[in-house]
Structure 1
Amino acid sequence: MKKQIGVIGDIHSNYTAFKTAVQYMTERGITEFILLGDYVSDTTDTAETMQYIYELIKKYKVTAIRGNREDYLLGQRRVLRGESDAPLWLYNSASGNLLYTYELLTNEDLDFFESLPISYRYKCEGYPDIICCHGSPVNNRELLLFHDDTAKKWLEKIDADYIVGGHTHVQGECHHNGKHYFNTGSTGIAISAPGLAQCLILHGFDENEPEGPSWEAEFLNLPYDVDYVIDALYEKGLMEKGKWFVVNNEHILKTGKDVTPELINKAMILQEKETGNPVDWPYIEEEYFTKAAKILGIPDYRVPRKDAM
């Protein structure tokens, strides 16, 4: 007996890539999905992405968990309600991308995010349990990496043989002491796979198999219309409001190269050195993002676009 589950994560408002992944999977006969969080932000089609998630839930068996981006957005709602003293977001290179996304969400969307767990134990009779998470089973911001021991350490901790996660945007698998970690990569903004929607299909084998019950991952890299997604950054106003952070997103979509943490940290360090004052996110001046981007080799794609118009 064989079971199939479609696993999709890190959509980041890229409805075009999301729809490509779902359509491919349903054409393969898949009727069950696990969604691993970070559904929105970074590209423009937030409302379309949320509507597609709701339609998927109505039509198929869907398990969804909450990513760190959903937590950020819920945190901003608490600020606006006077329940938190965290900073209000503003339209700049530090928080403009998040504010743009927040203003496209409804209270129903945010309530949906709040209802989701950060991890979930998938159980199905005859098959091994799977721990499903965005980052780690206890922290949706934690990175489980292949090049160090973080993934292996979690495999040692859990009382299951499988973890399926995302967050790193790096697709792949790790096997340790008879246990297995599968990272689906990013459907919406894949690292090292520009123009491709990354996701995976879990193939389940029950106790009737000669080697006993198990799961195998089929990793997918599906081409989609990335040019539309990049054009929409400009045409739908995200580039204007998110500035250098969104230029960096365009760079990832075009090249698969991600220096997002370095961009933010470098801008903060440059501002602190020049002004002599500590910098609190998101109050980072644009000139320092410009300098940081130049150091990191991120082209300003906005300039030739303006010249071409």
Structure 2
Amino acid sequence: MAKYALISDIHGNYKALEAFLAYIRENPVDGVIALGDYVTDGPYPERTVKYLREISEKYTCYIIRGNREDYLLNNTDNREGWKPSSANGTLYYTLRRLTQEDMAFLASFPTEREVAIEGCPSLYICHGVPGKVRGNVHEEPGLMEEVLKELAYGCLLGGHSHHQEKAVLYGKTYINPGSLGFAVDNVGRRAQFAILTGSRNGWEAEFKSISYDVEGYLGAFAESGVDELGMTLNKAVKKSLVTGVNYFFKCIVAMDEEAKRTEVRSIAEMPEEVWNRLEERFGL
């Protein structure tokens, strides 16, 4: 019998990560499986990376990176022109805060891989879906069916959607632990993860949702200076944390639609007054 903690989508929420670490200290596990998107959407990203280093040193770990890490690694010289703005201000902030050593640490992980644990069937882990780091089984109809039909493993672990979910199709199982740092549960103020128990017969998942120091984390946005750089999307993140509703995603979708309507190439080129109207629309 093997017991592993499964986490994904921390999104810079080091307070949620602290609560998770306290949980596994009190409820020991054999190791940790981490599915990416550790940084970019909150204050002090270096604290999250520090905790990840500690986890990798203390526990048997299987760690991959997500699309947020790829954004940073593909733009280390900021050729994308990130700047203080609603569109990419928090990315700009994160890029400035992380050291070369931090970036090398994140770059050391693959985007997907097999996990073979003695006495248990092999797993496959990814951030979105195999071959598509941003594949979202919650938002893309038919994607889960397509992926599981072709999967060469009995169990697939994925994140990215921020929704805890389990599905069994074609005799194969998909498990998503939800988001540790940015839970989309229509409740708010919770950190999500899963505890996996494996045996020769397969893998079972117990979904967890625990409280953490939300007020301390929200206070760090202003204290750290990220609020001044991230603007509208920072406000969307903070409202999402306390409501469990993904206002960040709502803003991105709405701005994409506006960019298409006005024939602007990308949301990064949208003026701040348009973002300000989104704040009013969503009560940010």
TM-score range with shorter-chain normalisation?
Answer: over 0.9
Q: 1:277 deviation in Å?
A: 5.2
1:190 and 2:178 matched: no
Q: Are 1:132 and 1:163, in contact at CA under 8 Å, matched by a contact in 2?
A: yes
- 1:133-161 residue CA offsets vs partner (Å, 9 max, x unmatched): 11111121111228832112211111101
Aligned counterpart, 1:31: 30
Q: Are 1:43 and 1:233, in contact at CA under 8 Å, matched by a contact in 2?
A: yes
Aligned counterpart, 1:48: 47
| Structure with the greater alpha carbon radius of gyration | 1
- 1:189-222 residue CA offsets vs partner (Å, 9 max, x unmatched): 100141111001100122xxxxxx2100010001
Alignment of 1:189-228 (within 5 A): 189-192=182-185, 193-206=187-200, 213-228=201-216
State the alpha-carbon separation in 2 of the partners of residues 280 and 179 from structure 1.
Answer: 38
Q: Are 2:240 and 2:248, in contact at CA under 8 Å, matched by a contact in 1?
A: no
Alignment of 1:1-309 (within 5 A): 2-77=1-76, 79-80=77-78, 87-145=80-138, 148-192=141-185, 193-206=187-200, 213-267=201-255, 269-270=257-258, 278-295=264-281, 297=282, 299-300=283-284
Q: Are 2:114 and 2:123, in contact at CA under 8 Å, matched by a contact in 1?
A: yes
State the alpha-carbon separation in 2 of the partners of residues 289 and 65 from structure 1.
Answer: 33
Q: Secondary structure at the match of 1:102?
A: helix
State the alpha-carbon separation in 2 of the partners of residues 271 and 67 from structure 1.
Answer: 26
Q: Are 2:7 and 2:35, in contact at CA under 8 Å, matched by a contact in 1?
A: yes
Q: Secondary structure at the match of 2:48?
A: helix
- Counterpart residue identity of residue 280, structure 1: S
State the alpha-carbon separation in 2 of the partners of residues 225 and 244 from structure 1.
Answer: 23
- Counterpart residue identity of residue 260, structure 1: F
Q: Secondary structure at the match of 1:93?
A: coil
* Structure 1 consecutive aligned stretches of length 4 or more whose deviation exceeds 6 Å: none
Q: 1:282 deviation in Å?
A: 1.6
Aligned counterpart, 1:303: none
State the alpha-carbon separation in 2 of the partners of residues 200 and 146 from structure 1.
Answer: 21
Q: 1:265 deviation in Å?
A: 4.1
Q: Secondary structure at the match of 1:62?
A: strand
State the alpha-carbon separation in 1 of the partners of residues 94 and 56 from structure 2.
Answer: 22
State the alpha-carbon separation in 2 of the partners of residues 164 and 87 from structure 1.
Answer: 31
Q: 1:290 deviation in Å?
A: 1.4
Q: Are 1:271 and 1:285, in contact at CA under 8 Å, matched by a contact in 2?
A: no
- 1:236-262 residue CA offsets vs partner (Å, 9 max, x unmatched): 111111000000001101111113344
* 5+ residue gaps, structure 2: none
Q: What is the total number of aligned residue pairs between the two structures?
A: 283
Q: 1:268 deviation in Å?
A: 5.1
CA gap of 1:277–1:183, structure 2 versus 1, over 3 A, is closer
Q: Percent identity?
A: 32
Q: TM-score, normalised by structure 1?
A: 0.86
Q: Are 1:268 and 1:288, in contact at CA under 8 Å, matched by a contact in 2?
A: no
Q: Are 2:259 and 2:267, in contact at CA under 8 Å, matched by a contact in 1?
A: no
* 5+ residue gaps, structure 1: 81-85, 207-212, 301-309
Q: 1:294 deviation in Å?
A: 2.6
Judge which range, 17-26 or 87-96, deviates more. Answer: 17-26
- Counterpart residue identity of residue 31, structure 2: E
State the alpha-carbon separation in 2 of the partners of residues 100 and 229 from structure 1.
Answer: 16
Q: Are 2:36 and 2:69, in contact at CA under 8 Å, matched by a contact in 1?
A: yes
- Counterpart residue identity of residue 197, structure 1: A
Q: 1:129 deviation in Å?
A: 1.1
- Counterpart residue identity of residue 243, structure 2: T
